[in-house]
Each structure stands twice: as structure tokens, then as C-alpha cells.
Amino acid sequence: MSGTDHPRTDWHRRATALAADGRAHIGGRRRDTGGRREPVVSPANGGQIAELGICAAADVDRAVAAARRVQPAWAARPDQERKEVLLRLADSLERHSEELALLETLDIGKPITQTTTVDLPGVIATFRYYAEAIDKCSGALPSTPPGATALVAREPLGVVAAIVPWNYPLEIASWKVAPALAAGNSVVLKPSEQSSLTALRMADLAADAGLPDGALNVVTGGAETGTALAAHMDVDVLAFTGSTRVARELLVASGRSNLKRLALEAGGKSSTLVFADADLTGAAEMAAAGAFYNQGQVCSATSRILVERPVLEEFTRALVKAAQAHRPTDPLGGGAGNGALISTAHTDSVQEWIRRGKADGELLDGGRRVEITGSDAYLEPAVITGLGADHPLHTEEVFGPVAVVHPFDTEDEAVHLANATRYGLAASLWTEDFRRVQRTAARLVAGTVSVNTVDALSVTTPFGGFKQSGFGRDLSLHAFDNYTALKTTWLQWG
């Protein structure tokens, strides 16, 4: 059911009736943990929606031990059985998708129209995809000398820790949990302390669906809890999505502990390149979506918009118009438009970036703080121009609804500008010239190049970065590389 099928009051009524449990999920059930408890405040309306139990190092130990105990038996279950458990979980997520969508909207402020139609369907599709992949991936029989046969098989690595951010809480969690479990690992998931409630509910549903106790644990807390996982001597893999700053710390933690394998999906500063021959109206609408969707809190947000000079004015006018569709509105209202940013503190920091852009360049539109339903975590999308290409707004991640527009004169210059950041997550390219597509896409240093669209993504295609956007890939069958190792068994018979 889509977010627009419920009248505004219905979602509000359901939100008032919602009771969320913020206790960790360890060894198959909810538990009180050793650390403090913290209020969970909804950025959508400023109200408290739960209390989060913060996990101490001893709770992390308990979760890792539970995961270690069950993993060999989980991996040894016939493929068909593991697949059935994950498919049952997908069905259960689907049955509970409105409850989960509402919880996500309240927890992080994104519109119910998006959590019902994008986030939850994405989570369910991810579990189904990896469940179905279990009995469809086979090993290899490489060429060997006469008298020998080599079997190459993929084996699970053991205990996977997954540390995830707050911008797509359940979706990004599913990108890691589903392939890790499908491959026969057990998981200790640590959601962001700002967005833990849907992951905890998912663990409840997984237990009901027949996932053995301890195969999926959810430890709650912030940097301290994450640090305990990263330094743990009995965690085999750490799959992370978050900032480049924390990714660096995880590399050190792995080196200082047990050399656990890392897959790091980190920050980004991605560009849209608009050539003069593009469909300018379509490009402007999608460029606005690329920069402002999810309140601009997207790692692959194309927040730098590079435009060929002859169409700069016409395109910028269309972009400012298209930005109107992303003005903030009540996230439970069921209409189009943006929701709240993750918190008042984060909104303050994004507003500071807008002030800086306005001081050093020109604010063409938006950028005002708005109060909606008792919360001031709402911002009009801001379009800024007139900044040097080396201005921090061109090179640093803002993680909010702020787009910078900049002209270019040649294809070479466009590629050079797009590549001139330390990140390499995504790029979007707008042109009708297919030869230019081939040339330019090949030269852009980005994990995904979307041509005549933005932020193209599917469960079937790999997602991840180059340079300081990290390494490893989420989604597609390539995600299994993060959670498995190849084993060669050499049979000498001749």
C-alpha cells in the first residue's frame, strides 16, 4: 500500500498509538543491556518515541558469542532450509511493512510516501534476492594438470559485524544482513544510535520466521558500541556504511585486532554533468532529485551540478523551479515533498554550510529553516552558485539539501571537475550523444555512472565506491565477495 492511500490523520493516529521497544536483540530475544538508556526523539515532530538501551562492551561480547555459537549449525543447514527461512522473513517484513515504514518515518523524519514505496519494498526485495541466490551460486572446476581435479567453493567467513548509518536505516542494514546470512554467516548488526528501531523490529521478525537464536543480533549504541565490535577478536568481517572519517578508524581497528576483513562504503561528493544537447527540463528535474531526495542525506547525492556554459542560465532556471517539488512538508501528511533532516543538530550544521555558500557565492533559492509539526529540523532545498570549483561546498560532503551549480566549457573540463574530489561514489551524465557517453563514462572515477538519470540502483547491480568512498560492493551477487572466502580442494588422483 502506498503512503498516499492513508489520509493524513490516519498516519498521525497510528503514530500516536505506536509503542517502540529500544532494547537490544541478543541471542534471539530482547534484553536489558549494561549501558545507559537514551531517549529517542523523532525529528519529524520533536516527540520522544522510545528509549534506546546502549550496549556496553560486555553486551557486544555476549552478542558475538551468541553469533559464534550458532554459525556452524546455520551454515550446515541445507541450502533449501536457509532459503526458506529468509523467504519467510521477507514475507513477514512485507506483512509488517506499514508498521516498519511508520517507525522509520518517525525515527528519521523521511516522508511516509517514501518509506512505504521505496525503503520497505527495497528491503523485502533484497531479502528475496539473496534467499533465491542461495541455491543458484555454484563453485568452479578450474583447469588443472592431468591427474588432478580442483574444486573451488565459497565458504562463509563466520561472524559478520555490520555497522550502518541513519540515512536508509533498514535498507542499508538489509544490504549487509541478507547476503551475509544467505552465505551461512551469523550477524551482529549495529544500527546508528539515531535510527535503531526498525532494525530491532526486523530481528524480532527474523526470530519469528525461524532464524536460529543468535544468527542475527542487533546491538544498540553509538561510537563506543561500534568501537567494541571493530576491536573484537572474534569478529571475522566488518561491513560498514558511514563516513570516511569512521571508515579510517575501522581500518586501524582491524589492523590492531585480528585483521578482520573489511568492506567499507564511505562518504561521497558526486556530480551531475549536463551537456548542452541534453533534455534540459528532464535533466533539471532529475538533478534536483539527485541533490535533494531524502533531504539530500544520500551518500551518492549528486550535489555538484556542472553545466555546459551555453545552457547555464536556462538550466539553472529549470533547476530552481524543480527544487520547489522538494520543499519540506509534514512527513506523515502523505503528500510529495521533503521530510525532516535527521536532527536539529544536523540541520544546524547544514544551515551553516548554506550561510557559508551565501557569503562566498550566491544563494539562488531556498535555504530557509522551516518549523513543521513542532520540529525545526526542516530546510528548504538550497541552490547556490558563483563559488570557485575548489570551494569546500564543491569538495566536502554536506549531507543535506544543498546543491552547487558550476559552468564548464569543454568535455575535458567537465570530467576534470567531476573527478576533482577525494571521493568516487557516483556521477550522473546528461547528453544525447552516445559517443560522448562512452568517452565520458569511462573517464569518470565513480562506482556508478548514471546516464540520463540519477543515482541508478538495483538489487541486481553492485553499489560502492572508488577512492575515499571506500571499497567492497553492496548489492548484486558481488556482495557475496564481502562475506565468503574461496576454498580450493585439490584432489590428486593420477
Rounded CA-CA distance 312/407 in Å is: 7
- Does the protein bind ligand NAD through residue 400 (CB under 6 A)? no
Let me know if 442 is exposed, middle or buried by CB neighbors in 10 A (0-12, 13-18, 19+). Answer: exposed
265 is catalytic: yes
Please state the closest distance from residue 130 (CB atom) to ligand NAD, in A: 17
- Does the protein bind ligand NAD through residue 482 (CB under 6 A)? no
- Does the protein bind ligand NAD through residue 302 (CB under 6 A)? no
- Does the protein bind ligand NAD through residue 268 (CB under 6 A)? yes
DSSP assignment letter at 489:
E
- Which of the following is catalytic: 104, 171, 193, 265? 265
Query: C-alpha cell of 435?
Result: 559517443
Rounded CA-CA distance 185/261 in Å is: 13
- Does the protein bind ligand NAD through residue 92 (CB under 6 A)? no
Please state the closest distance from residue 424 (CB atom) to ligand NAD, in A: 10
124 vs 479, which CB is nearer to ligand NAD? 479
Per CB under 6 A, the list member of 113, 114, 227, 316 interacting with ligand NAD is 227
How many positions of this chain bind ligand NAD (CB under 6 A)?
30
Segment contacting ligand NAD (CB under 6 A): 8-16, 143-151, 187-195, 281-289?
Answer: 187-195
352 is catalytic: no
116 vs 469, which CB is nearer to ligand NAD? 469
Please state the closest distance from residue 195 (CB atom) to ligand NAD, in A: 8
Rounded CA-CA distance 50/199 in Å is: 14
Could you tell me which residues are beta bridge partners of residue 149? 491
Grid cell 577525494 in the structure block, residue: 422
Residues of this chain, 137-166, that bind ligand NAD according to CB under 6 A: 163-166
Half-sphere exposure of 357 (CA within 13 A, CB side): 31
- Does the protein bind ligand NAD through residue 239 (CB under 6 A)? no
- Please tell me whether residue 115 adopts helix, strand or coil conformation: helix
Question: Following DSSP, what letter does each residue of 302-369 receive, concatenated?
Answer: --EEEEEGGGHHHHHHHHHHHHGGG-B--TTS-SSSB---S-HHHHHHHHHHHHHHHHHSEEEE---E
DSSP assignment letter at 154:
E
Segment contacting ligand NAD (CB under 6 A): 44-52, 137-145, 240-248, 404-412?
Answer: 240-248
Could you tell me which residues are beta bridge partners of residue 384? 363, 404
Per CB under 6 A, the list member of 92, 167, 254, 431 interacting with ligand NAD is 167
Question: 20 with 348: CB under 8 angstroms?
Answer: no
Per CB under 6 A, the list member of 399, 408, 430, 480 interacting with ligand NAD is 399
Nearest to residue 196, comparing CAs of 51, 300, 347?
51
- Does the protein bind ligand NAD through residue 266 (CB under 6 A)? yes
Per CB under 6 A, the list member of 308, 397, 455, 481 interacting with ligand NAD is 397
Q: Which residues are catalytic?
A: 265, 299
Question: Can you give the binding site for ligand NAD, defined by CB under 6 A?
Answer: 163-167, 172, 190, 192-193, 222-223, 226-227, 230, 241-243, 246, 249, 265-268, 299, 397, 399, 425, 465, 469-470
